[in-house]
Amino acid sequence: MKIKRIGFVTFKLSFNEVDLITDPLFSIDAGVKIPALDTEMVIHSSPEYKGVLAPLADAKVRQITPKKRDFILEISSPGDYELGGVIVRRPLNSDFFVIDEDTVRVVYMGEVSHTIEPKELENLGDVDVLIMPVGNGASFPNYERLEKIVSAIDPTYLIPSGYKESGVTIVDLKGVDEFVKNFGYTNVKEENVLKVSDGTSVENKVVEVVVLK
């Protein structure tokens, strides 16, 4: 699996058979220009899209198109979804997604993730990658809650998202450097792409923060 950052809270996760894009509409609303992308799956975390079958078409977003199939599976409501060996689960009454392929597990948090309770995350098993907003804004968890979330999930890799950067119009966000400094992370690296080949969780591991450029 490969993870590439598109902008703000939008990432492209490339699996063996399918690609998945996270929250393009939220990033567009935040002022980010989304380039032309092809994919098989899109997830939407905003509550306004729950129950909506085709949020991209409704928003007249045409730069995201199907890759190998004649449709895009858009996931916004709670439930279990499967396509091309990738399983996506959005728990009932919660605002995070669990994404699995074989032995690799990703947890993604997007809009309204400030409502997530750490106790909801304690039984997720081995999580290889956590993609989490760290900007501390109104829609995102504050630093105190972030600390509890990371502790509950204990991921191998933590990918920051949803932080202050050029072009983002949300004004109450902190930068990724502030997040790293506040939590005292020392195992930090910048990458263009994160590659995860198999389940990477090990005992007594130290969380590695990967800032995707």
The arithmetic mean of pLDDT across residues 153-157, rounded, is 95
Report pLDDT digits (tens) over 135-145: 998 889 999 99
Please give the C-alpha separations between residue 146 and each of 99, 105, 115, in angstroms, as whole numbers: 20, 19, 11
Please give the C-alpha separations between residue 121 and each of 43, 55, 138, 148, in angstroms, as whole numbers: 19, 27, 21, 10
Q: What is the pTM of this model?
A: 0.95
For residue 41, the cross-strand partners are 20, 73
- The number of domains in the chain is 1
Please give the C-alpha separations between residue 119 and each of 10, 94, 109, 126, 181, in angstroms, as whole numbers: 26, 11, 15, 16, 25
Given this model, what pLDDT does residue 140 score?
92
Higher pLDDT, residue 114 or 58: 58
Length of the chain as a residue count: 213
Q: In which domain, by residue range, is 47 found?
A: 2-212
- pLDDT-derived band at 203 (thresholds 50, 70, 90) equals low
Report pLDDT digits (tens) over 51-109: 898 999 999 999 999 998 999 999 999 999 999 999 999 998 888 999 999 999 999 99
Report pLDDT digits (tens) over 21-62: 999 999 999 999 999 999 999 999 998 888 898 999 999 999
d(CA 83, CA 127): 20
CATH number of the domain bearing residue 8: 3.60.15.10
